[in-house]
Structure 1
Amino acid sequence: MKMRTLMAAAATAALIIGPLSPITPFVGAGSAYAKGGGDKGGGGGGGGGGKSESKGGGGKSSSKGGGASKGATKRSVSKAETAPPPRSEQGRLASELKGLMAAHANPRALERANPGSQVGRIALYRDAALATIEAKAAVEALEQEAAKAADDLAALEAAYTGRSSADILADIALLDEESDSYEAEKAALDAELAAAESFEAEQLRLQTVIDEAPAKIEEAELVVEEKEGLEGDALMTASGGRTLSDEALAYFRELLGL
C-alpha cells in the first residue's frame, strides 16, 4: 500500500513538471560540461580539445613566442656589448706609428726637447720637413713668376702700338734745329721716345725673368732634393729605422701640423 502511494505520487509529480524536465537538465549539464572542460584544459591537460585550442589560439603559445623573442634579443644585445669594437683607422695608424705618436706633444715641448729623446728626434724631423716645404714653395714661386712674366709680356706687346726707340731717335737726329717747328716736333718725338723707352724697359725686364727662370728653377729643385734627403734621414731616425706606410706618414705629418 505504501509502495503504491509512493509510485502514484511520483507519477503525479512527473505529470506536473514533465514539460520542464528536458530543458532544465540540458542547460545544467551543458554549463557543467563547459566549465569542467575548461578547467581540465587549462589546469591539467586532460581534455585534448581544450589543450589544443589553448595552445593554438593564443594566449599561452603567443606568450611563449614573445618570451623566446625577448630572450633572443637580450642574448643578442649582451653579445654585442661584450664583443670588442672594430679597430678604427686612427687606432691602426697609431699602432703603426708607435713612438712617433709623441708628435702629440705641444710645440713648446718640441722646441725644448733633447735632440736625443724621442720627442727631440720628432722635432728634428719636423724642422727638416718644414725646410723641404719651404724649398718646394721657392720652386713654385719661381714657376709662377715665370708664367706671370710670360703673360704680362704678351699683354704688354699686344697693347703697345708705337715705334721702337731707335726709330724715334733716328727721327730726332734728322730734325732741323733752325726750323720754326723744331721745338714742337722735338717735344712730340721726345714724348713718343719716353713711351717707347718705358715699354722697352719693361719688355726687357719681363724677358729677363723668363730667360733666367729655367736655370733658377733647376737650382731650386736641387735644393728640394737635398732637403728631401735630410727629411728622409730625420724620419728614419725618429721611426727607429722603420718605413711607414703612406697613410701612417700622412697622419704623422698631420699631427705635426705639416
Structure 2
Amino acid sequence: MKLLIADDETLIREAILARLKKGNYAFDEIFLAADGLEAWDIARRERPEIIITDVQMDGMTGLSLIQSCQNAHIPASIIVISGYAEFEYVQDAMYHDACCYLLKPITQESLFDALEKALAKQAVHTRLSRLQNDTTNLSFGILPTKHGSPQEPESPLSVTEQARRYLTEHYREPVSIETLAEYLHLNPRYFSTLFKKKEGVSPLDYLTRIRMEAAKDLLRDTDIPASEVSYLVGYEDPRYFYKVFKKYTGQTPTNFRS
C-alpha cells in the first residue's frame, strides 16, 4: 500500500513520518510532496491508496488535489490537514469525499485515528471493487436495438447482466430507468419489464439494494458520518437516505452502527 504526504511545511512532513514509525504502519512506499502540484504529479503517477494533504498549499490546494484525484479515478482515502481558520475548506473537502481531517497541531492519537479510518475505507473500497470484478469478467457482445425485438446476444452477457454490471459500477451516480435503457439501446418500458421478469425486482429496487449493502459496509467498518455515507452511496439528500435505509434494514443508520 502506498501513502502520499503533501504539506508545504517540512516539519509537519517529518513529524508525520516519525509518528508513522511509532505506529508500525507497514506502507510499501511513502511519498513526500512540498506543494500541491508535486502532490498531484505523484498521485497521478503512483496512485497511492492513502493521501494526507494540507488544505492550503502552493500550486494546488488540497481541495483541488481531491477533485483532481476524483476526476482521474484515483480511489485514494484522503486525510485533510487544516487549521481552525480553514474549516470552510475542510467542509468542502469532506463534501468532495475526503475521508477525515486532522486539526493542527497534529497529535499522534489524531493521526493514528485518521489512518485507521482511511485504512477501513480502503478495505471497503477493495471489497466493492472485488464485487464489481465478479460481475464484469465477461466481455460485451452486440447490444439489442430500441426498435423491434432484441436479438439473441452473441456475448455471454445478457441484457440483465449488462444492466447489473452498469448498476454495480455506477451506483454512486444519478441513475434512472431512462439512462439505463439508453445505455442498453432499449425502450425504457421494455427494458424495465424484461429486468423485473428476470431478476424479480425492478432495476431501481436492484440499485437500492446495491446502495444499501454498500452503506452497511461503510457504517459497519468506518466512522464516516452517516450524512457523508449517503453521498458515498449515491444519495444527495441525507434525509432521504435515512428514510430508505430504515425501510431497507428496519434500523436508522445510527442504530445500525451501534
TM-score (norm 1): 0.24
Greater fraction of residues in strand: 2
Question: Which of 1 and 2 has greater Rg?
Answer: 1
Question: Which structure carries more relative contact order (alpha carbon 8 Å, separation 6+)?
Answer: 1
Greater fraction of residues in helix: 1
